[in-house]
């Protein structure tokens, strides 16, 4: 089985890129299941219409992150759509859910969990490590393969989660920093891992934002609200090849340009 994970989709440009490239990449990689992080589809957050668009582009599951509720109209959508996951370690009264079990290829049951890091993040969710333990414990015997996304700022926290779930999850990948890392590998007990799978959106940008605006912010200038950068876009992610025994045999980075 091959699981294709796609990094943070930024703005309508990122959604357009999914429409252009996702199904082609899925075919080329032989992917059986697609997980897309959509928390930046509206810049900060995602709307119901954008979630529908991401599914139409070819996603099986959408994950979110620290901007999960940036657009409040997504709240009721999350309660109605179990294939959109907000972070599992948010307050328990939060709309939606942070994990789900889905039908995969060859009758496999896939447990997907969405975790939010705490290091250098703007608010304090529950402990993601203990949350992962609880999800796995509560669902023991109900799934065949576990997959975990950790949406976090610190590379150390993502690395720690990769080793913490080594041998218990088939794949662990990071999102949030929008820069694809080159440390794709198999951890000692057979878990596929990469610290960050990157972003899907404008190539000439700072995390999807117009460079001039980002530079102005770092200079300390007065700035207008961030705008998604124009120009050529790319899709970024990773493919995990996983056996029926839950052991990952390869992790392949994906990065493909498209014109706009």
Catalytic residues: 67
* Residues 136, 85 contacting (CB under 8 angstroms): no
With helix as H, strand as E and coil as C, how does 162-226 read? HHHCECCECEEEEECCCCCCCCCEECCCCCEEECCCCEEEECCCECCECHHHHHHHHHCCCCCCC
* Residues 244, 108 contacting (CB under 8 angstroms): yes
Whose structure tokens read 């609200």? 225
Write down the H helix ranges in 30-111. 48-57, 74-80
Give the bridge partners for 13, in sequence order: none
DSSP E strand boundaries for 7-144: 8-9, 33-37, 61-63, 84-85, 99-103, 109-116
166 exposed, middle or buried (CB, 10 Å; 0-12, 13-18, 19+)?
A: middle
Question: C-alpha distances in angstroms, 172 versus 142, 168, 222?
Answer: 19, 10, 39
């Amino acid at each position: 089985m091959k699981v294709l994970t796609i990094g943070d989709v930024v703005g309508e440009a990122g959604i357009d890129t999914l429409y252009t490239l996702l199904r082609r990449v899925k075919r080329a990689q032989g992917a059986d299941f697609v997980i897309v992080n959509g928390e930046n589809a509206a810049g900060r957050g995602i709307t119901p219409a954008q979630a529908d668009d991401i599914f139409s582009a070819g996603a099986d599951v959408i994950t979110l992150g620290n901007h999960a509720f940036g657009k409040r109209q997504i709240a009721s959508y999350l309660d109605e759509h179990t294939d959109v996951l907000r972070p599992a370690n948010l307050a328990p009264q939060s709309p939606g859910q942070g994990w789900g079990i889905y039908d995969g290829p060859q009758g496999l049951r896939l447990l997907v969990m969405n975790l939010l890091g705490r290091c250098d993040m703007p608010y304090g969710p529950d402990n993601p490590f203990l949350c992962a333990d609880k999800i796995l414990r509560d669902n023991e015997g109900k799934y065949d393969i576990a997959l975990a996304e950790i949406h976090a700022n610190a590379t150390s926290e993502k690395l720690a989660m990769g080793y913490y779930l080594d041998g218990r999850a088939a794949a662990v990948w990071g999102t949030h920093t929008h820069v694809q890392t080159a440390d794709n590998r198999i951890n000692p007990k057979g878990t596929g891992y990469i610290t960050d799978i990157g972003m899907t959106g404008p190539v000439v940008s700072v995390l999807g934002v117009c460079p001039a605006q980002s530079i102005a912010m770092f200079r300390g200038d007065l700035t207008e609200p961030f705008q998604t950068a124009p120009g050529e876009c790319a899709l970024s992610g990773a493919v995990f090849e996983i056996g029926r025994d839950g052991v990952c045999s390869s992790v392949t980075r994906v990065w493909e340009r498209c014109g706009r």
